[in-house]
């Protein structure tokens, strides 16, 4: 029988699961109001984060320290586009969703182009693309005249089934599909090989450009879908709407057990990492900590996870 610690290391998502249980216990002790019903609100917020974070996971999995920092800007722009084009009707939503998805896919393709062809580091390329999208969102804000929401989109973003948020079911389905893509398809296995060693993967015949491009297009597409859903959940769109996801999308990925250096990714862990981060924020809000301190604590948690991951890699290489 394997040692418990060995099992935990092999299933890095389990640390997030343990963290969720501990935080839930702490909150339950700190306030009698925190229960399964209050956890529903946490699960809803975490699910919106998870949709964007799973996209970020694919970008991170490509290795080389790649991240997608255009995600917040995609979310903000597509939230505006969803509201403007749909006009609050289901018929309008049928026109809005293809446009929103096209924006996300195009953003991912442009990010990959800058990274692969122009050799611009991902952190710079995606941040620059994000600035362009922010300008587009500013222009869209000037044409924003309605707060009407498509009934179908409102149902997906805010409805409950047997007390369970529908958005949580959608996030769980997305995590399951992503896990199957990573573990059971040729693309997923090649993506993991690329993240571990891009030179070896290329020599083995992997189409590196295609793999990276698809990963960033998935990231952009999921951010776009998240923007559409968030517009319904928030009842509108506003500038800076996606800003919290800049840190949190990366944080959920690494806290959930995906290696920031690439080569190993876990969709389940990313979902659990999203829940854990939202629980951390909830704990700090109950404690009355200011927003700046909350950001600092999240940063410290992410740094600690990255340091532990780096230490593990160093020991493995020694």
Q: Per the domain annotation, does 280 fall within a domain?
A: no
Name the residue among 137, 77, 141 with its Cα closest to residue 103.
77
For 185, which DSSP code? S
Task: Give 101's pLDDT tier (boundaries 50, 70, 90).
Answer: very high
Range of the domain at 174: 38-246+258-266
133-169: pLDDT as tens digits? 999 999 999 888 778 899 999 999 999 998 889 999 9
- Determine the Cα–Cα distance for residues 196 and 210; give it in Å rounded to an integer: 17
Residue 149: which region, alpha, beta or left (left: phi > 0; alpha: psi -120 to 50)? beta
Q: Per the domain annotation, does 71 fall within a domain?
A: yes
- Taking residues 295-312, report their average pLDDT: 69
Q: Per the domain annotation, does 277 fall within a domain?
A: no
Place of tokens 């950001």: 295
Q: Number of folded domains in the chain?
A: 1
Task: Give 316's pLDDT tier (boundaries 50, 70, 90).
Answer: very low
Q: State phi, psi for 65 to the nearest 5 degrees.
A: 75, 20
60 within 8 A of 262, measured Cβ to Cβ: yes
Q: Per the domain annotation, does 162 fall within a domain?
A: yes
What is the rounded average pLDDT for all residues in the chain?
87
Q: Per the domain annotation, does 21 fall within a domain?
A: no
DSSP-assigned beta bridge partners for residue 161: 164
| Structure tokens given for 106 | 């195009």
Q: Per the domain annotation, does 49 fall within a domain?
A: yes
Residues in contact with 129: Cβ distance below 8 Å, sequence separation at least 6, in sequence order: 70, 73, 107, 110, 111, 114
Q: Per the domain annotation, does 296 fall within a domain?
A: no
Residue 144: which region, alpha, beta or left (left: phi > 0; alpha: psi -120 to 50)? beta
pTM of the predicted structure, to 2 decimals: 0.91
């Amino acid at each position: 029988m394997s040692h418990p610690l060995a099992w935990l290391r092999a299933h890095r998502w389990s640390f997030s699961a343990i963290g969720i249980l501990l935080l839930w216990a702490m909150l339950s002790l700190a306030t009698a109001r925190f229960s399964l019903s209050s956890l529903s609100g946490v699960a809803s917020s975490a699910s919106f984060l998870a949709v964007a974070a799973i996209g970020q996971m694919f970008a991170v999995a490509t290795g080389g320290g790649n991240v997608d920092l255009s995600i917040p800007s995609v979310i903000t722009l597509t939230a505006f586009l969803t509201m403007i084009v749909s006009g609050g009707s289901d018929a309008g939503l049928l026109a809005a969703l293809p446009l929103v998805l096209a924006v996300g896919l195009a953003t991912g393709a442009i990010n990959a182009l800058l990274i692969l062809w122009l050799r611009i580091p991902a952190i710079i390329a995606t941040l620059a693309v994000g600035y362009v999208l922010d300008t587009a969102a500013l222009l869209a804000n000037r044409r924003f005249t309605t707060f009407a929401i498509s009934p179908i989109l409102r149902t997906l973003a805010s409805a409950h089934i047997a007390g369970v948020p529908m958005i949580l079911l959608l996030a769980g389905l997305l995590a399951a599909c992503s896990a199957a893509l990573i573990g059971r398809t040729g693309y997923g296995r090649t993506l993991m090989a690329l993240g571990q060693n891009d030179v070896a993967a290329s020599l083995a015949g992997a189409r590196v450009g295609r793999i990276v491009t698809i990963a960033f297009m998935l990231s952009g597409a999921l951010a776009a879908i998240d923007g559409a859903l968030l517009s319904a959940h928030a009842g509108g769109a506003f500038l800076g709407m996606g800003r919290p996801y800049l840190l949190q999308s990366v944080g959920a990925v690494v806290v959930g057990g995906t290696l920031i250096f690439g080569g190993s990714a876990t969709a389940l862990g990313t979902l659990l990492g999203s829940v854990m981060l939202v629980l951390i924020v909830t704990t700090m809000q109950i404690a009355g900590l200011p927003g700046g301190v909350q950001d600092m604590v999240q940063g410290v948690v992410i740094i600690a996870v990255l340091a532990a991951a780096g230490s593990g890699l160093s020991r493995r290489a020694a």
